[in-house]
């Protein structure tokens, strides 16, 4: 499905928004950011996945115990106060959180504490019809998720495949017994999901009113120790003990000489096909109910995936395996009137991937930071080569910032090619705007800029370093950063490039 119109937007994850509670949330900071987008004449707000995260995985939004559930850390205490589920006195003793970094080890216990207070107040209410409606509508994933996280806590964090056999294999009597035994804990998890959904729906409505579309992000793979695997293990390549026999990753590339060993279990596409891809159709429908557009991370995995034996320590010794892309996307096309999906097609992309993208009209991605690595005048990431049906980026959450690249990574010949391309030199103070202008005037229907590149921030503001496991996903905006002057400048570039 071709992206409509000629528009632009900003990439900023919810965790990066300003908030006095140590992490960005769905409260005032999100509404202020929406207002900034509107003032700067942007039409798209791109975010990262909203699924639950945990300290064990460095709180990566791409590593979650559920492909469907929401992250309770993003619930706004301010909106809970508005709803009467918290009092101001409940948040008086807020820890002294850092303003420019998320300190997850401090944020998590604080949020758990105030959400516990909110739940206790919610239990006192008699009108719970909206909550009950939410639970009924989302029961296809919600009930299993709530029980999963409750049991995982009860089993001291053990992976589901190490639980008692009757629970691990989901015997009906054992599950009913667990539901009864942990009734209040399960209800608490249902409440967290309901509150997030309620706050998200309110924010989405506000964005709609401002003419802002939200682009969500859906990782192609799920995590082994997840509600998804516990619920539908037959859909994944597991051994007799419920452990992955082969895992996902990518071969050596721009980001890593040994590739990336993600470790996610791989799908049993043969069984997916026999079920008419019902799990995937439910997942896509769920995401399309939340967002206007959905970016699929590692899109090429639907066409062919890098299969790595589970015993390997790096991703080098893998192999490409075909996946039933045509059958899968035809099933989606039959189910949905439109498929507003975006293919993350970076890295090693073969002709069969491009063929599927073209057949179904999925726009791909073009990253300006990749444009100046060689002297090919028709390098596929140079702006003059972009087709209309693509999304141009200065960089993504996996890249350095433009200024960080310019200062720390760009080789002399890359800088030279960049200067030759724009026909002048640039300095640390304006290089990010030169990149913004390049992307804005390109033929790409849509152009997205990470908020760090609008602000001209350096390497310290980078969101993620692929193939590293510590210190990512922490960067945050200060409340004073998004000024009216900044909005005016971005609006001017947007107007001049015909993206209004």
Quote the DSSP letter at residue 218: E
Q: What are phi and psi of 318, to 5 degrees?
A: -115, -175
User: In angstroms, how far is CA 468 from the centroid of its own chain?
Assistant: 17
Q: How far apart are CA 354 and CA 387, in angstroms?
A: 13
Asked if 398 is an active-site residue, the reply is yes
Asked if 414 is an active-site residue, the reply is no
CA dihedral 150, 151, 155, 158 (to 10 degrees): -100
Q: Which two tokens stand for residue 465?
A: 């370093």
Asked if 297 is an active-site residue, the reply is yes
CA dihedral 377, 369, 213, 219 (to 10 degrees): 110
Of the residues 398, 414, 434, 453, which is catalytic? 398
CA dihedral 149, 151, 156, 158 (to 10 degrees): -80
- Given a contact cutoff of 8 angstroms between Cβ atoms, the answer to whether 325 and 248 are in contact is no
Spatial neighbors of 422 by CB under 8 A, at least 6 apart, are: 434, 438
Spatial neighbors of 122 by CB under 8 A, at least 6 apart, are: 85, 128, 131, 191
Question: Beta strand 246-250 with 304-309: parallel, antiparallel or unpaired?
Answer: antiparallel
Of the residues 189, 344, 414, 453, which is catalytic? 344
Spatial neighbors of 387 by CB under 8 A, at least 6 apart, are: 443, 444
Of the residues 25, 144, 297, 414, which is catalytic? 297
Element (H, E) at 493: helix 484-496
Q: Which residues are catalytic?
A: 297, 344, 398
């Amino acid at each position: 499905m071709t992206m409509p119109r000629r528009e632009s937007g900003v990439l900023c994850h919810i965790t990066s928004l300003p908030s006095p509670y140590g992490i960005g949330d769905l409260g005032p900071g999100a509404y202020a950011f929406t207002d900034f987008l509107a003032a700067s004449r942007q039409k798209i707000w791109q975010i990262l996945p909203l699924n639950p995260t945990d300290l064990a995985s460095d709180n990566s939004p791409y590593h979650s115990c559920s492909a469907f559930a929401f992250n309770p850390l993003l619930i706004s205490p301010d909106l809970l106060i508005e709803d009467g589920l918290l009092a101001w006195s409940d948040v008086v003793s807020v820890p002294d959180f850092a303003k420019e970094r998320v300190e997850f080890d401090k944020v998590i216990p604080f949020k758990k504490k105030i959400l516990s207070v909110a739940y206790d107040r919610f239990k006192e209410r008699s009108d719970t019809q909206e909550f009950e409606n939410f639970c009924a509508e989302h029961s296809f994933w919600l009930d299993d998720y709530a029980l999963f996280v409750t049991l995982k806590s009860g089993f001291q964090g053990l992976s589901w495949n190490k639980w008692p056999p009757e629970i691990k294999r989901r015997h009906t009597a054992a599950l009913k017994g667990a539901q009864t035994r942990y009734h209040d804990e399960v209800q608490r998890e249902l409440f967290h999901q309901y509150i997030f959904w309620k706050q998200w729906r309110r924010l989405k409505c506000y964005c709609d009113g401002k003419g802002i579309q939200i682009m969500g992000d859906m990782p192609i793979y799920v995590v082994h120790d997840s509600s998804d695997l516990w619920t539908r293990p037959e859909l994944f390549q597991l051994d007799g003990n419920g452990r992955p026999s082969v895992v996902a990753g990518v071969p050596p590339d721009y980001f890593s000489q040994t590739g990336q060993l993600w470790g996610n279990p791989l799908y049993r596409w043969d069984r997916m096909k026999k079920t008419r891809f019902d799990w995937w159709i439910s997942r896509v429908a769920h995401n399309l109910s939340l967002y206007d557009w959905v970016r699929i991370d590692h899109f090429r995995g639907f066409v062919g995936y890098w299969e790595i034996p589970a015993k390997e320590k790096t991703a080098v010794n893998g192999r490409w395996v075909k996946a039933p892309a045509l059958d899968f996307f035809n099933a989606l096309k039959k189910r949905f009137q439109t498929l507003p999906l975006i293919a993350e097609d970076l890295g090693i992309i073969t002709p069969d991937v491009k063929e599927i993208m073209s057949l179904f009209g999925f726009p791909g991605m073009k990253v300006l930071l990749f444009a100046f690595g060689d002297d090919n005048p028709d390098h596929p990431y140079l702006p003059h080569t972009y087709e209309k049906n693509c999304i141009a980026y200065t960089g993504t959450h996996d890249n350095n910032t433009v200024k960080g690249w310019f200062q720390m990574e760009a080789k002399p010949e890359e800088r030279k090619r960049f200067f030759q391309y724009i026909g002048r030199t640039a300095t640390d103070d304006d290089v990010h705007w030169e990149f913004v202008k390049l992307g804005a005037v390109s033929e790409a229907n849509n152009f997205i800029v990470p908020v760090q590149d609008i602000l001209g921030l350096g390497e310290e503001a980078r969101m993620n370093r692929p193939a590293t496991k510590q210190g990512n996903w922490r960067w945050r905006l200060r409340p004073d950063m998004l000024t009216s002057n900044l909005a005016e400048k971005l609006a001017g570039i947007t107007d001049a490039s015909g993206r209004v």
